[in-house]
Amino acid sequence: MALPTEQTQVVLVARPAPAVTADLFAVRRAPVPRPGPGELLIQVLWLSIDPAMRGWIADAPNYRPPVPLNEVMFGFTVGRVVESNHPDYVPGELVYGTQGWQEYAVSDGSDIDHKVDPAWGSPSAALGVLGHTGLTAYLGLLDVGQPKEGETVLVTTAAGAVGSVVGQIARLKGCRTVGLAGSDEKVRLCREFYGFDAAINYRSAGDRLADLVAEACPDGVDIFFDNVSGPLAEAVFPLLNTRARVVQCGTIGIASDGSANGPRPGRTVLAKRIRWEGFLVLDHFDAFPRALADLGRWVADGRIRHREDVVEGLASAPDALCGMLAGRNLGKVVVKVARDTAKA
Amino acid sequence: MALPTEQTQVVLVARPAPAVTADLFAVRRAPVPRPGPGELLIQVLWLSIDPAMRGWIADAPNYRPPVPLNEVMFGFTVGRVVESNHPDYVPGELVYGTQGWQEYAVSDGSDIDHKVDPAWGSPSAALGVLGHTGLTAYLGLLDVGQPKEGETVLVTTAAGAVGSVVGQIARLKGCRTVGLAGSDEKVRLCREFYGFDAAINYRSAGDRLADLVAEACPDGVDIFFDNVSGPLAEAVFPLLNTRARVVQCGTIGIASDGSANGPRPGRTVLAKRIRWEGFLVLDHFDAFPRALADLGRWVADGRIRHREDVVEGLASAPDALCGMLAGRNLGKVVVKVARDTAKA
């Protein structure tokens, strides 16, 4: 197939104020770059849409510098190598990396994390249950949370790409699993599709949230796997047991402007010997092979189930992001950028 | 020596409101109890006065139930076995336990932690650097904080019984050590006696505290060993480095009424992947022998220095507690209850 000379890119043109809206992004045309010595050219096939993107585009303290204005939006991708002057890659291979919101990207290999095994089925799984969201769930729950059989694990955004896998792994480890989700439909998914022991709609719960959580966790909460923080986490902290672990994996419930909210645990951390730990999967590359071996097996034999919401076309990525931040998805949101011509 | 038939006890008669004052306690006379089968009688020689006592007497959530009103005040003690019907103890042995604020106590052994080795010098050291405060410093810093050479360790109540040992162990491990203390005299002690690299008087610092800490920690803070919480900790949290560890070992800066203050880290725990962990030495009995082996060696060879403020007489214990909570001590506060007649 002849390479096109031009491609579509989606660039960030404004910062959240504080809402994330589609007009923070613009679509532009740009030349398809050519790989130099030691480089390769990747055609992006799939983009991942993630809650963390809100943090990546805001001009607030974070674990990485914000995406610069007028540059291609940063994001996890699966692509196919189309040309290579790099000794480690040959055309036709699938790679998982951070090529971002564009159709073609040149890489020196440093923004590629690993090759995607075609045996995993749809390569888009590499952006979810067999990618950073599944890895976040696995490593955050098992390495940081260290669940023991019989403990109670409470998960926020429980129907989401991370939370749903946390709940399923916790169940495999013999824990009671309780999910918080933002709609009755998601609550049903948690119970019926992902197998949580209990699930609660935190939006309709209102002032009764703490009571409902206490009812669903009659023995208290041993592990709080939290993707939200903010007032939701404030309601949960008083229910933590002695020696509870809080895995802080996201803070989507905290305003982008960074204004202080979320738990202010005062004496609780000491009196209950809580361990409250921030977790970022990008710190744990070394553990990926071990985690993917387990996850791959569990997905293959059906012990871990997952769902995808597929959105078509790169230009739809901004709307897909806004929809996910508003909670309109029911599975991991991925954008299909191109048909995989190598397989067509 | 003939045993007396009556003894002095100090009992708790009121709860902090919220200040801890000497009139929360009363001195009373009571019979000297006699040990039954399987029990032993202990003469208390030394009492430990500890910041945690404020929590033990308050009617607020804590890691142990509050001391009941009209009962003997709970506390760590060193005593001598004077009679024994217990197979593990013989008269004359020194024991470290929680016999509390009284001259004589019967024990079934469950409130004795270990025998005190007379080779350690003054048995009062068993209440400090070779007891729960030294153990708190050792295990909290090394097991929870996990210092690495070249890191910066910031300690509150740095001239205190725990803080001073934390600073000295951190220095032995090759860390930069910075102390916060409540008077110029304590700051001098930190620098000149305990060998901190820098020390700051947080009381006179006022609004400049965060600036002074930042200046003393030019590479940020990797381990925050905190005995205080409250506004002091709020000033420190923004200076924490990525992957910093916060060892919450006390919360003396938080009002007894439990009203919420102290850090409310919002996104910081996640963005910097902080580990914030409550530490209570009573959870770690299994590690005591390992820790005491190191501490005993370091104290013996002068690598760890310690100071005691000795107060005479059981009836002085309430004043000693109030004085320590007001920061008037310059070393570990111990009350000498009796001359050790076995040695006299």
pLDDT in tens, B280-315: 998 998 899 899 999 999 998 899 999 999 999 999
**What is the pLDDT, as a whole number, of residue A320?**
97
Mean pLDDT of the residues in chain B? 93
Neighbouring CB atoms inside 10 A of B267's CB total 24
Give SS3 for A131. Answer: coil
Chain A contact set for B255 (CB, 8 A): none
Sign of CA dihedral A5, A122, A177, A292: negative
Query: Which of B96, B89, B93 lies closest to B80 in space, CA to CA?
Result: B93
CB pair distance less than 8 Å for B254 and A261: no
Six-digit token pair at A181? 């989700």
For residue B256, the chain A residue with the least C-alpha distance is A267
B248, B262, B267: residue with CB nearest A264: B262
CA distance linking residue B179 with residue B217, whole number of Å? 10
CB pair distance less than 8 Å for B277 and A280: no
A55–chain B nearest CA distance, Å: 9
Per DSSP, chain B holds a count of helices (H) and strands (E) of 10, 15
Torsion of CA A212, A213, A217, A220, to 10 degrees: -130
Chain A contact set for B268 (CB, 8 A): 61, 278
Residues 6+ apart with CB under 8 A from A276: A245, A246, A248, A265, A269, B269, B274, B275, B276, B277
B251, B259, B272: residue with CB nearest A270: B251
**What is the pLDDT, as a whole number, of residue A344?**
40
**Phi, psi for residue B287 in degrees, rounded to 5:** -90, -5
A55, A61, A248: residue with CB nearest B269: A248
Element (H, E) at A246: strand A240-248
What is the value of pTM for the model shown?
0.86
A60 dihedral zone (left: phi>0; alpha: psi -120 to 50; beta)? beta
> Does residue B255 have a pLDDT over 90?
no
Q: Is residue A121 within 8 Å of A81, Cβ to Cβ? A: no
**What is the pLDDT, as a whole number, of residue A124?**
86
Sign of CA dihedral B84, B88, B91, B95: negative
Rounded to a whole number of angstroms, the distance between the first and last alpha carbons of chain B is 12
A146 dihedral zone (left: phi>0; alpha: psi -120 to 50; beta)? left
- Helix, strand, coil abundance in chain A, percent, nearest 5: 30, 25, 40
Give the fold, CATH level 3, of A137-280. Rossmann fold (3.40.50)
DSSP structural state of residue B283: G
Q: What is the pLDDT of residues B111-169, one digit of tens each?
A: 998 898 877 777 888 999 999 999 999 999 999 999 999 999 999 999 999 999 999 99
CA distance linking residue A176 with residue A198, whole number of Å? 9
CA B321 to chain centre: 12
Q: How many CA atoms lie within 13 A of B315 on its CB side?
A: 5
Class (C level, CATH) for A6-124+307-336: alpha beta
Q: For every one of its 344 residues, what pLDDT tens digit does chain A have, with 9 covering 90 and above?
A: 689 999 999 999 999 988 999 999 999 999 999 999 999 999 999 999 998 899 999 988 788 899 999 999 999 999 999 999 999 999 999 999 999 999 999 999 999 988 988 777 778 889 999 999 999 999 999 999 999 999 999 999 999 999 999 999 999 999 999 999 999 999 999 999 999 999 999 999 989 999 999 999 999 999 999 999 988 999 999 999 999 999 999 888 776 555 567 888 878 899 899 999 999 998 998 899 899 999 999 998 899 999 999 999 999 999 999 999 998 888 899 999 998 766 54
A268–chain B nearest CA distance, Å: 8
Measuring CA to CA, how many Å separate B4 from each of A17, A318, B38, B91, B311? 78, 84, 22, 16, 23
Give SS3 for B112. Answer: strand
b/e per residue, B50-79, with b = 16+ CB within 10 A?
bbbbbbbbbebebbeebbeeeebbbbbbbb
Strands B176-181 and B152-155: parallel
Query: Which numeric CATH code is attached to B132-282?
Result: 3.40.50.720
CB pair distance less than 8 Å for A267 and B254: yes
**Phi, psi for residue A125 in degrees, rounded to 5:** -60, -25
- Which residues from A are below 8 Å from B when comparing CB atoms? 55, 60-63, 229, 242-243, 248-251, 254, 258-280, 283
B118–chain A nearest CA distance, Å: 33
CA distance linking residue A219 with residue A240, whole number of Å? 10
CA distance linking residue A256 with residue A253, whole number of Å? 9
Six-digit token pair at A81? 């190598």
Which pLDDT band holds residue B85 (cuts at 50, 70, 90)?
Answer: very high
Rounded to a whole number of angstroms, the distance between the first and last alpha carbons of chain A is 11
Q: Is residue B338 within 8 Å of B33, Cβ to Cβ? A: no
Domain ranges of chain A: 6-124+307-336, 137-280
Which pLDDT band holds residue B18 (cuts at 50, 70, 90)?
Answer: confident
Range B322-338 average pLDDT: 92
CA distance linking residue A30 with residue A45, whole number of Å? 18
For residue B248, the chain A residue with the least C-alpha distance is A270
Strands B240-248 and B275-278: parallel
Q: Which CATH architecture has domain B6-121+307-336?
A: Alpha-Beta Complex (3.90)
Query: Which of B252, B250, B203, B206 lies closest to B18 in space, CA to CA?
Result: B252
CA distance linking residue A111 with residue A115, whole number of Å? 12
Query: Which of A90, A70, A72, A71 lies closest to A80 in space, CA to CA?
Result: A90
Six-digit token pair at B293? 């082996």
CB pair distance less than 8 Å for A279 and B271: no
DSSP string over A247-260? EE---TTS-TT--S
Q: How many CA atoms lie within 13 A of B216 on its CB side?
A: 24
Q: How many CB pairs under 8 A join A and B?
A: 120
Torsion of CA B147, B152, B156, B159, to 10 degrees: 90
Chain A contact set for B63 (CB, 8 A): 242, 270-273
CA distance linking residue A290 with residue B219, whole number of Å? 34
**What is the pLDDT, as a whole number, of residue A122?**
77
CA distance linking residue A81 with residue A87, whole number of Å? 12
Give SS3 for A78. Answer: strand
